[in-house]
Amino acid sequence: MNDFKLVYDFLNDPNTFSWADKMLIPMAGILLISYLFKKKIKKFRVWVIILTIFSSGVSIFATTLEYTGYADTIKAIEKGETLVVEGEVTNFKHLDDKNHSSGESFKVNGVKFIYSDYHRIHGYHHTCSLGGVICEDGQVIRLSYIKDNLFNRIIKLELAE
């Protein structure tokens, strides 16, 4: 029986979801519009307003999509829909740094996991080349994960000590 050290927990990850970065575009647009009105600058005023409305809409849409994924992950955890697998890492494949559409992948007891730092997901996604802890075959790990339509999302990662 192995003792495990907790390395990643979705529920305690401060980078999982934040409103702050999502509001930068609308805030910048509002500040720019305020500046144009305060200084009585009429040139580009209409275009700045149109661009601000459009970019704010896109930002709100993207934020809503991301928050929905985050909330769905929390609900799945609360409902107990997480699965656990423990064992050695096999078939480890590094991320191809030249192809950002690729991912890092491995299996544990036949369960496949794939992720990438370049594709934000709700769960562990830190590749070895960018500071992740899963780096080779033979590592003994325990994963809590959610089975998704496309892939298995790692919710908790523990390394054998």
Q: Per-residue DSSP letters for 2-41?
A: --EEEEEEGGG-TTS--STGGGHHHHHHHHHHHHHHHTT-
pLDDT reported for residue 14? 64
Range of the domain at 72: 21-78
Q: Is there a single domain that holds both residue 94 and residue 65?
A: no
Whether 101 and 62 share a structural domain: no
Q: What per-residue confidence (pLDDT) applies to 100?
A: 66
Do 93 and 154 share a domain, yes or no?
A: yes
Q: Among candidates 125, 155, 159, which has minimal Cα distance to 141?
A: 159
Q: Are residues 155 and 96 in the same domain?
A: yes
Structure tokens at 84: 């656990």
Provide block-wise average pLDDT over 10 residues at a time, the chain (161 residues). Answer: 90 73 81 85 84 87 87 93 96 82 90 87 88 94 91 94 91
* Number of domains, the chain: 2
**What is the reported pLDDT for 15?**
67
Which residue among 40, 57, 78 closes a domain?
A: 78
One domain for residues 71 and 109:
no
| Together in a domain, 37 and 64 | yes
Whole-structure pTM value: 0.78
Q: Which of 78, 97, 113 is the last residue of a domain?
A: 78
Nearest-CA neighbor of 136 among 84, 100, 88? 88
Structure tokens at 88: 């050695």
Crossing angle of helices 24-38 and 45-78, in 10° steps, is: 160
